[in-house]
Amino acid sequence: MELRKILEAVENGELSPEDGEKLINALFESSKEDFGQSKVKELYNEVFVVKPGEIIRETVSARNSKLTIEGEILGDLDVVNCYVELSGTVHGNLNAATSKISWRGGRVLGDARLVMCQESGNGYVFGKKNGVAVDLPFIKGVIEEDYHDDSVTKEEMVLNGDFETEEIKDVKLIRVVGNVRAEKLHCEKLIVSGKLHSQSVSCEHLEIQSNASLSTQKLWVEELKNDGKLDVKKCTAEIFENNGDVSCETLVCERLGNNGMCRLQSATTEELENNGSLTCDVLTTELLLNRGNAKIRILTAESVENYGKLIAELASYETYNGIAVEQHSEE
Residue 211, in any domain of the structure: yes
Is the domain of 290 the same as that of 186? yes
Is the domain of 110 the same as that of 178? no
How buried is residue 170: exposed, middle or buried, by Cβ count under 10 Å (0-12/13-18/19+)? exposed
Is the domain of 212 the same as that of 297? yes
Identify any residues that bridge with 3 across adjacent strands, giving them in sequence order.
none
Average pLDDT of the residues in 227-256: 96
Position 144 confidence tier, pLDDT thresholds 50, 70, 90: very low
Which residues, other chains included, contact 206 with Cβ-Cβ below 8 Å and sequence gap of 6+? 189, 190, 192, 214, 219, 221, 223, 224, 225
Identify any residues that bridge with 129 across adjacent strands, giving them in sequence order.
112
| Residue that terminates a domain, selected from 120, 146, 172 | 146
- Kindly report which listed range (9-18, 133-142, 249-258, 279-288) carries the lowest average pLDDT score: 133-142
pLDDT of residue 29: 57
> What's the total number of domains in the chain?
2
Structural domain containing residue 106 = 3-146
pLDDT of residue 129: 82
Q: How far is CA 293 from the centre of its chain?
A: 34
Residue 230, in any domain of the structure: yes
Residue 151, in any domain of the structure: no
329 has a pLDDT exceeding 80:
no
Position 37 confidence tier, pLDDT thresholds 50, 70, 90: very low
Is the domain of 201 the same as that of 67? no
Average pLDDT of the residues in 192-196: 95
Residue 112, in any domain of the structure: yes
Residue 175, in any domain of the structure: yes
Position 213 confidence tier, pLDDT thresholds 50, 70, 90: very high
For residue 196, CA distances in Å to 115, 143, 147, 192 come to 36, 30, 25, 7
Is the domain of 122 the same as that of 165? no
Position 65 confidence tier, pLDDT thresholds 50, 70, 90: confident
Position 260 confidence tier, pLDDT thresholds 50, 70, 90: very high
| Residue that terminates a domain, selected from 146, 175, 201 | 146
Q: How far apart are CA 48 and CA 65, in angstroms?
A: 8
Q: How far apart are CA 228 and CA 243, in angstroms?
A: 8
The model carries a pTM of 0.62
Q: Higher-confidence residue: 267 or 4?
A: 267
Is the domain of 311 the same as that of 232? yes
Is the domain of 175 the same as that of 308? yes
Q: What is the mean pLDDT of the chain?
A: 84
Residue 194, in any domain of the structure: yes
Residue 320, in any domain of the structure: yes
Which residues, other chains included, contact 48 with Cβ-Cβ below 8 Å and sequence gap of 6+? 60, 62, 65, 66, 67, 68, 160, 161
Is the domain of 126 the same as that of 217? no
